[in-house]
Amino acid sequence: DGGITQSPKYLFRKEGQNVTLSCEQNLNHDAMYWYRQDPGQGLRLIYYSQIVNDFQKGDIAEGYSVSREKKESFPLTVTSAQKNPTAFYLCASSFPRGTYTGELFFGEGSRLTVL
């Protein structure tokens, strides 16, 4: 089945450790996104990438890093510089450039808890 796979689903880490969340899609989408979801704050954009080897900061990029070496993959690293990393992280993708319909396709999310 086509879709977006995020892993791991749950992750526990100690404070000060970097963690990397995986996001893979087989929808042949050019654009991929990382959002953070916190109760009462909705979804906030961390980073997005419209094409391979290119990405832009979103609204809350500080303390995060990404790479886009392959079309299918857009991993997110939560670094020790992120002051409040405990959250639910959502990866999404959208149709190729030029055929954008506005619809984002989301993965099931990764819940990170920093102890």
Q: List b or e across 24-60, with b for residues whose CB sees 16 or more CB atoms inside 10 angstroms.
A: bbeeebbbbbbbbeeeeeeeebbbbbbeeeebeebeb
Rounded to a whole number of angstroms, the minimum distance from the CB of residue 80 to other proteins is 27
Residue from 25, 82, 94, 110 touching other proteins (CB under 8 A): that is: 94
In this structure, what token pair is assigned to residue 105?
């396709």
Rounded to a whole number of angstroms, the minimum distance from the CB of residue 37 to other proteins is 8
Rounded to a whole number of angstroms, the minimum distance from the CB of residue 94 to other proteins is 5
Q: Which is nearer to other proteins, 13 or 44 (CB)?
A: 44
Residue from 11, 27, 45, 60 touching other proteins (CB under 8 A): that is: 45
Whether the Cβ atoms of residue 112 and residue 89 lie closer than 8 Å to each other: yes
Binding of residue 2 to other proteins (CB under 8 A): no
Q: Which stretch binds other proteins (CB under 8 A): 12-20, 65-73, 75-83, 96-104?
A: 96-104
In this structure, what token pair is assigned to residue 7?
């892993």
Binding of residue 62 to other proteins (CB under 8 A): no
Near other proteins in 13-32, by CB under 8 A: 31
Whether the Cβ atoms of residue 47 and residue 76 lie closer than 8 Å to each other: yes
